[in-house]
Amino acid sequence: MPRRRRRRQLETLKQIKARRWEKQKGRCHYCGKEMSKREATIEHVVPVSRGGPVTDRRNIVLACEVCNKRKGNRILEEMPKKE
Ligand SMILES: [Zn+2]
């Protein structure tokens, strides 16, 4: 059943998030700002819309709300690659 699968995926994401948050010491991956676990947003390094794995922890970083929004805009604008 899809419903069951979805619930399991959410749980996994939650676990990944908690682990990631500790690994990043509660700081944003991009700007280094301290954030609470609740403030942290899940960022997929390779966007899911481009085939990035949803629950692969290597594809997940945590970002603050500001960076999350900024990155979202970049994707929309097709940011050129930055070294
Ligand atoms: Zn940030």
Q: Residue 16 is part of a domain; what is its CATH number?
A: 1.10.30.50
Token pair for residue 75? Answer: 């994707």
How far does residue 73's CA lie from ligand 1's centre (Å)?
Answer: 14
Close Cβ partners of 22 (under 8 Å, ≥ 6 residues apart) = none
How far does residue 5's CA lie from ligand 1's centre (Å)?
Answer: 31
- In the chain, how many domains are there? 1
pLDDT digits (tens, 9 = 90+) for 3-42: 666 666 667 889 999 999 999 999 999 999 999 999 999 9
Q: pTM of the entire structure? A: 0.72
How far does residue 6's CA lie from ligand 1's centre (Å)?
Answer: 28
- 52, part of any domain: yes
Surrounding ion ligand 1 within 5 Å at CB are: 28, 30-31, 33, 64, 67
- 39, part of any domain: yes
